[in-house]
Structure 1
């Protein structure tokens, strides 16, 4: 799947955000007030960062345990509560990547062993199950499909969905299994939705695949 690092970063940021919300839940009301700027910055970062990150930048951020914290701090430095709030994180991202102190100030991610099947196809079913609660704007072999979070859940439950070949007036029914078992070829997150390109998985029976050298005697 192309843009795999962006998908992994999306998941890492969600984990970081969940950790922050757990921390906030344990605070007293007066402590929450003191952290208002920090909380707002975390929410802004989570909402808008992925729209500004390319694959190379995502790979860099994944080197850190808490990229959400890094970008939160930089956003506060550039857009304090009394300043104009800039939803474009491009400059903040460039700044932290260019800063030589970033590695010294923030914890690096623990090394994760690569799983043996990391390069196997990621199905639409697996992708939606992993990234729930958002919309999906999809280009599939059966046509264009747009799924709200609710429609995505219905699809997982086995309900067919509707697509069109380029014009909504020519709507067609796409069975759930046909769509869910397709491979996610490309994934990009922006404007609150995943933009996916999917295709059929072409599996090769390795046991039946003939070795070009099979049966040849070398002298």
Structure 2
């Protein structure tokens, strides 16, 4: 079966949703109102996620006990109560698969082993190469950097960029090697661009933040 993981993921999502529905049925009206956003998000994920998931992504999501919960939480983080579009789920999928802490935040399915090397830092180069055609609004040690898709290509080709502390007139040059070799601590997709926080890689003392926390620029 060519799409076996997609079929299995569809079934898992239905199971996850049924378990949530049992919890909702035991809630009082006030509790249901309090949980309205999560209920709505779970419904949207169940109904629309499979339109955006390929076989490789489905296999990855099946590593977890409750992929519906993972995508529900990420969808809320990126969209809130707004209308969902397939592209929104594509970006949410990228974000949870890029996030180093997803396996720490959500339980794996029985018998599934943690991914080897999952704690290795994701560099700026790796992240932007995974998201071609996107823009990046970044907070870096050298200041704020904004990359259009065209500037991303120039950066990858070795051209330096400008970083500023909040005032353009104080902008300073950041070399391509310096920026591309930083690690991504935090990333969130909204408004057709990625908002990112990066820092120098510190192997022993680094305390990674989760991508789900988002970045406020």
Instruction: Using structure 2 for the length normalisation, give the TM-score.
Output: 0.50
Which has the higher relative contact order, 1 or 2, with Cα contacts under 8 A spaced 6 or more apart? 1
In terms of Rg, which structure is larger? 1
TM-score, normalising length from structure 1? Answer: 0.49
